[in-house]
């Protein structure tokens, strides 16, 4: 069993210098800012269409989420010829379950506000990594539902920002927010009784 012990013993494998330079060094903060602004603006535009305006998804006269219901209905439809929009049966069952239980009424709020808030957080650089991850999760779901559009590109940018969470918000609110709040594995002064805020 020595080979098992050798295989699974604790080892820290260090990233090469260029990876650390990209994802952990503040010198590329301007590049992360550009990526954040682009992605944030895309989410803010997408969210704004759903929150405000004539074709908004929420706070409409009548039941909310009819636009989302229509989107889900198209997504789960299986055409007589050709491939269905959704490739995975489990995802089609998931959307069908949500349709049957009229979840689109409240889920439209989650999507509309989620896209808007993710956009604002990315632009100001507050919790940029988490905002990017939330955006990537939405892209992932839209892709599973058969909508390509800009989702693949936005997904890649979001994942890059997520992996660069330490520096992505350096030119932003994270510059002060992360050192103050810290992380779950290293709490900041706000969550440590022994560390004064000043």
Partner 1 sequence: MNKALVLVGGVVAWAVVAATAILVVFNMGEKNQVLMFLPILAVVVAAWFIGELVTQRVFTGHEKGV
113 touches partner 1 (CB under 8 A): no
Spatial CA neighbour of 147 closest among 70, 39, 81: 70
Q: Which element (helix H / strand E) includes 34?
A: helix 29-51
Q: Is 83 helix (H, G, I), strand (E, B) or coil?
A: coil
119 touches partner 1 (CB under 8 A): yes
Q: Phi and psi of 183, rounded to 5°?
A: -130, 165
5: how many CB neighbours lie within 10 A of its CB?
A: 8
131 touches partner 1 (CB under 8 A): no
Q: Which of 124, 143, 153, 159 binds partner 1 (CB under 8 A)?
A: 124
CB of 10 to partner 1, least distance (A): 36
27 touches partner 1 (CB under 8 A): no
CB of 1 to partner 1, least distance (A): 53
169 touches partner 1 (CB under 8 A): no
Stretch that binds partner 1, among 39-47, 92-100, 106-114, 154-162 (CB under 8 A): 39-47
Q: Are 32 and 164 in contact (CB under 8 A)?
A: yes
Sequence-distant (≥ 6) Cβ neighbours of residue 43 within 8 angstroms: 115, 116, 118, 119, 122, 135
158: how many CB neighbours lie within 10 A of its CB?
A: 28
Stretch that binds partner 1, among 54-62, 101-109, 173-181, 183-191 (CB under 8 A): 173-181
Residues in contact with partner 1 by CB under 8 A are: 33, 37, 40-41, 44-45, 48, 52, 119-120, 123-124, 126, 171-173, 175-176, 198
């Amino acid at each position: 069993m020595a080979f098992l012990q050798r295989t699974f013993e604790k080892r820290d494998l260090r990233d090469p210098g260029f990876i650390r330079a990209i994802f952990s060094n503040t010198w590329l903060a301007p590049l992360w800012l550009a990526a954040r602004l682009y992605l944030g603006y895309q989410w803010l535009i997408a969210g704004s269409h759903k929150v405000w305006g004539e074709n908004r998804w929420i706070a409409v006269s009548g039941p909310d989420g009819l636009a989302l219901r229509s989107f889900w209905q198209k997504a789960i439809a299986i055409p007589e010829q050709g491939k269905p929009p959704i490739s995975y049966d489990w995802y089609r069952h998931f959307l069908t379950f949500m349709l049957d239980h009229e979840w689109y009424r409240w889920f439209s709020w989650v999507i509309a506000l989620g896209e808007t808030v993710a956009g604002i957080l990315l632009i100001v650089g507050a919790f940029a990594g988490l905002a990017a991850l939330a955006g990537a999760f939405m892209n992932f779901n839209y892709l599973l539902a058969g909508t390509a559009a800009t989702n693949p590109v936005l997904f890649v940018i979001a994942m890059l920002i997520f992996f660069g969470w330490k520096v992505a918000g350096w030119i932003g609110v994270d510059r002060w927010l992360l050192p103050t709040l810290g992380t779950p594995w290293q709490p900041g002064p706000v969550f440590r009784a022994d560390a004064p805020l000043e």
